[in-house]
Amino acid sequence: MEKDIEKLLYDLCVDWGFCIPPQDSKSLKQSDHLEADEFACAVLVAEGMDADIEVQWRRKIRNRFIERFGPKLSVHDY
């Protein structure tokens, strides 16, 4: 799961410029369970943005997560 999250974070950085700090990236990659919206909010907050205001970005990041993993991802899926 860690490698898949790492790949998604890399793609968000390259595609849209969301290159979150290493400590935030590490926290997401070490999660046992992630939901699409939770992931999107965490990325935005790590970028210093308000996830409640950045609705379009939140939706785009959430949708990218869902395209890859479905609505949620768990270590039990691996």
Provide the strand spans (E) within 1-78: 33-35, 72-74
Average pLDDT of adjacent 10-residue blocks, the chain of 78 residues: 96 98 96 97 98 98 98 91
Q: What is the CA radius of gyration of the chain?
A: 11
> What does the pLDDT read at residue 61?
98
Q: Is the dihedral of CA 30, 65, 12, 45 positive or negative?
A: negative
**Predicted TM-score (pTM) of this structure:** 0.94
Rounded distance between C-alpha atoms, residue 42 and residue 39, angstroms? 5
Distance of alpha carbon 52 from alpha carbon 4, whole angstroms: 26
